[in-house]
């Protein structure tokens, strides 16, 4: 008795051009030949979906899905439905309240005399509900020392004696390197907000040109569109340190995704299940965590350089890193510049399109020896004999005038020209090379 009812419901769905319901979480893949047969029988031979399903021995839902995905016009007039007189009211209501639930709409239609069931009604609503327009997102790229992102994050409450205080984390992230500054305070006052900035500037021994903010009360007092009234105390602070405060658009968290990701890291990878004595102990552990994170990223880069071979599975942190390993850095058997299997210098990567021994800037996603050494330097890794040969390569490329050339240029669009051109002296390669040599010499002395 139930089967004829189901078939009747499916025929009603087909008559109104709706996709038949299915209990599967995702559609079953069928062959292109079977899809072509379904489309030909329906649009050329004028077979009904039920006839196609029976003759081809497939589920009715599969036929309905293929016809709906093809996007071709339906053959024949649609059958009348009891819901047709109420469609103008439904469309008008959905236009005014696009997120109104189907159950509430169904109750409103029932009060106006509709006698149909709720299941078919939900399918009709899903067909006529206004769809949100697809939005394209542009991946934001920044130059070095150009931008950082700032935010507060709430981490519950902290009991101090008989008082209960909110535990707030000040998070600042450098947009280019993703370097994190994390410090906890007992409130989100203006004084602590400025202390967080000063601490980050002191840790990095500098600051970027632009700082991105959510529309915090410590930064923005009032905003109407692009008209922004900044907090006067914060404006004086920005003027003293000579940076540009830039609030992101309202309800646009994607514009400061780097700091949102850092907050997630602090919440899930650092703070979860962590015990601490007091606020000073928590901040000391946060600083150690960020330092270890830099060391891990530097060690992972070294692994990628030395073990980047087809078919090799990427190691886990448990395989590679422990506190003593990160501190000593002596668990990697190969040098920075040579293959483990043959001992040869790695001239190019396995795809053959990147010269590891030729220095470029900007490097985009490409790797070279100078970039690897500079990353290890910025991550706080202590150099040893494994990088000595790479250091000698960098030193050997120094010209008579004390500068390094731009040896190669990779495809990419920059808003400004960074150097004079390929084969000419490069200020950026010179800067990076001098930093790397100084880092190695300081450790050697």
**Residue 373: which H helix or E strand, with range?**
helix 369-378
> Residue 163 burial by CB count (10 A; 0-12/13-18/19+): exposed, middle or buried?
exposed
Where is the domain boundary, 259, 274, 289?
A: 274
CA atoms lying within 13 Å on the CB side of residue 279:
15
Contacts of 335 (CB under 8 A, 6+ apart): 306, 386, 387, 389, 390
Per-residue pLDDT of 361-384, as tens digits, reads 888 777 788 888 888 888 888 888
Q: 389 lies in a domain?
A: yes
The confidence band for 32, taking pLDDT boundaries of 50, 70 and 90, is confident
Whether residue 57 sits in one domain with residue 124 = yes
- pTM (two decimals): 0.46
Q: 291 lies in a domain?
A: no
Nearest to 286 by CA among 296, 295, 276: 276
Whether residue 426 sits in one domain with residue 325 = yes
Where is the domain boundary, 241, 274, 307?
A: 274
Decide which of 339 and 222 is more confident.
222
- Taking the C-alpha atoms of residue 328 and residue 192, their distance in angstroms, rounded to an integer, is 36
- Taking the C-alpha atoms of residue 183 and residue 181, their distance in angstroms, rounded to an integer, is 7
Whether residue 416 sits in one domain with residue 350 = yes
Whether residue 97 sits in one domain with residue 59 = yes
Whether residue 305 sits in one domain with residue 425 = yes
Whether residue 187 sits in one domain with residue 90 = no
Per-residue pLDDT of 38-67, as tens digits, reads 998 988 888 988 899 999 999 888 888 888
Backbone angles phi, psi at 26, to 5 degrees: -150, 150
Q: 284 lies in a domain?
A: no
Buried b / exposed e across 325-355, counting CB within 10 Å, b at 16+?
ebeebeebebbbbbeeeeeeebeeeeeeebb
Q: 318 lies in a domain?
A: yes
Q: What is the span of the domain harbouring residue 72?
A: 2-128
Following DSSP, what letter does each residue of 189-204 receive, concatenated?
-HHHHHHHHHHHHHHH
Per-residue pLDDT of 72-85, as tens digits, reads 555 555 678 888 89
Whether residue 124 sits in one domain with residue 21 = yes
Whether residue 173 sits in one domain with residue 121 = no
Alpha helices by DSSP H, 205-332: 232-241, 257-265, 279-307, 317-320, 323-328
Q: 282 lies in a domain?
A: no
For the chain, the domain total comes to 3
Say if residues 127 and 188 touch (Cβ distance below 8 Å): no
Q: 249 lies in a domain?
A: yes
Whether residue 195 sits in one domain with residue 92 = no
Contacts of 51 (CB under 8 A, 6+ apart): 41
Where is the domain boundary, 274, 289, 321?
A: 274
Per-residue pLDDT of 152-201, as tens digits, reads 999 999 888 888 999 999 999 998 888 899 999 999 999 999 999 999 99
Whether residue 113 sits in one domain with residue 154 = no
CB atoms within 10 A of CB 172: 25
Q: 135 lies in a domain?
A: no
CATH code of the domain covering residue 181: 3.30.420.10
Whether residue 439 sits in one domain with residue 303 = yes
The confidence band for 1, taking pLDDT boundaries of 50, 70 and 90, is very low
Say if residues 293 and 180 touch (Cβ distance below 8 Å): yes
Whether residue 375 sits in one domain with residue 313 = yes
Q: 288 lies in a domain?
A: no
């Amino acid at each position: 008795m139930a089967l004829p009812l189901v078939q009747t419901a499916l025929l009603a769905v087909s008559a109104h051009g709706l996709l038949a319901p299915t209990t599967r979480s995702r559609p079953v893949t069928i062959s292109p030949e079977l899809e072509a047969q379904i489309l030909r029988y329906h649009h050329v031979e004028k077979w009904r979906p039920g006839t196609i399903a029976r003759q081809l021995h497939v589920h009715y839902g599969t036929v309905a899905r293929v016809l709906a995905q093809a996007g071709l016009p339906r053959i024949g007039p649609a059958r009348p439905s009891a819901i047709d007189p109420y469609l103008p009211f439904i469309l008008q209501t959905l236009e005014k309240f696009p997120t109104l639930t189907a159950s509430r709409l169904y109750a409103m239609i029932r009060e106006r005399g509709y006698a149909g069931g709720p299941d078919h009604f939900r399918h009709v609503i899903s067909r006529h509900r206004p769809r949100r327009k697809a939005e394209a997102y542009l991946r934001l790229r920044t130059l070095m020392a150009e931008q950082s992102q700032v935010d507060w994050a709430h981490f519950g409450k902290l009991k101090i004696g008989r008082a209960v205080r909110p535990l707030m984390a000040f998070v600042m992230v450098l947009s280019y390197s993703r370097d994190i500054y994390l410090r906890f305070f007992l409130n989100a006052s203006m004084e602590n907000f400025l202390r967080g900035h000063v601490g980050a500037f002191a840790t990095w021994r500098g600051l970027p040109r632009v700082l991105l903010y959510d529309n915090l009360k410590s930064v923005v007092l009032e905003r109407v569109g692009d008209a922004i009234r900044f907090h006067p105390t914060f404006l004086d602070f920005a003027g003293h340190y000579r940076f540009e405060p830039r609030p992101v658009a309202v309800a646009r968290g994607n514009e400061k995704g780097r700091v949102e990701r850092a907050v997630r890291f602090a919440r899930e990878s650092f703070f979860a299940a962590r015990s601490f004595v007091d606020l000073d102990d928590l901040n000391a552990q946060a600083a150690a965590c960020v330092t270890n994170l830099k060391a891990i990223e530097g060690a992972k880069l070294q692994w990628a350089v030395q073990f980047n071979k087809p078919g090799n599975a990427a190691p886990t942190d448990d395989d590679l890193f422990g506190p003593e390993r990160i501190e000593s850095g002596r668990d990697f058997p190969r040098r920075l510049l040579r293959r483990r299997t043959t001992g040869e210098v790695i001239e190019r990567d396995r795809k053959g399109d990147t010269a590891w021994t030729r220095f470029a800037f900007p490097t985009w996603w490409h790797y070279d020896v100078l970039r690897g050494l500079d990353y290890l330097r910025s991550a706080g890794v202590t150099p040893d004999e494994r990088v000595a040969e790479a250091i000698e390569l960098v030193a050997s490329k120094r010209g008579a005038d004390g500068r390094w050339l731009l040896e190669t240029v990779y495809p990419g669009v920059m808003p400004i020209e960074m150097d004079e051109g390929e084969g000419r002296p490069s200020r950026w390669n010179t800067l990076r090379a001098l930093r790397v040599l100084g880092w190695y010499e300081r450790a050697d002395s």
